Amino acid sequence: MNLSVLMKQFLLFLLLLLPVSLSAQKQYFLSTGDNSMDENDRPMIEVYLPQPELVNGCAVVLCPGGAMRWLSWESDVVKMASFLNEHGIAAVGLRYHLNKGGGQMPQGMQMPPMVDVTHPEQFPKADANPMHFAYGDSIIRLAAEDAKSAIRMVREHADEWHISTDKIGYLGFSAGGGVAIAATISADNNARPDFLCTNFGPSLMPVTVPQDAPPLLIMTRVDHPNVAAGLVSLFMEWKKAGANAELHMYGDGKGPYELMPQTGETTTETWSTQMIQWLKAKGFINRK
């Protein structure tokens, strides 16, 4: 066998060792009522389904972060979808309305002071949005409508995608958590999620907890200004309403709050496995 053939075989071997990039099996545009929107900006979902032998009927609509101006798609959707699929959970990435800079903040508006975790009362009704203005609030409401449309579409396709209609919920990251919360508190029965998980994402609107509110899982770091206090306030609103809520306030770690390797160096990195345990405990996935 000559050197050229050996080299080709060696390169093929290396390629086989590379991880396979997860790609969505299905993509669907969501109805927005605005047919003039550019196709690249239209809200849509991307569906990532687990292998048939792993399916457990649970589905998570992933609302990525990005400050309402972009979407952290690779970390909050693609990587997270792979993790969820490994646990038999269908993942649905949501591309929601974003602030494209068309609205200006009122002249003279200044950033509010940073609030630490010891003062959740500074966010009445769990509204941790630092800067309310008309255009920004309208985008949050549109994004919440997108999130509700995603839940409805998943329920419509539940049989096709092997999903139980009573095991569909949200996982929102950062601003995406705010979108998921806004959608949950404004949803009718058909669009209301069965569970709500927010990772580092407080509410961006005043919260009125609905009757029959879904169980809520909150995960964040204790030292993040505004976010931690806003999420403590959200937890309290859920509890005052008599609803089920759980709060994980991690005291270590740094960097982006995303899927992390399990190194044992921090407790923060365990959030993803603790979320799986929470879904098991609540009966949304099998306890095996």
Q: Which CATH number fits the domain 33-99+111-281, given the four candidates 3.40.50.1820, 1.10.1040.10, 3.40.30.10, 3.30.450.20?
A: 3.40.50.1820
Helices in the chain by DSSP H: which ranges?
3-17, 73, 79-86, 134-156, 158-161, 175-185, 227-240, 271-281
Q: Tell me, what's the pLDDT at 163?
A: 98
| 201-225 pLDDT, tens digit each | 999 999 999 999 999 999 999 998 8
21: pLDDT confidence band, cut at 50, 70 and 90? Answer: very low
Tell me: pLDDT of 102 over 70. Answer: no
Smallest CA-to-CA distance from 29 within 126, 153, 124, 183 is with 153
Give the pLDDT score at 39.
54
Name the pLDDT band for 287 (thresholds 50, 70, 90): confident
Is residue 121 scored above 50 in pLDDT? yes
Burial 73-97 (b: 16+ CB within 10 A, else e): eeebbbebbbbbbebbbbbbbbbbb
Domain boundaries, the chain: 33-99+111-281
Burial class (CB in 10 A: 0-12, 13-18, 19+), 107: exposed
* 0.95 surpassed by pTM: no
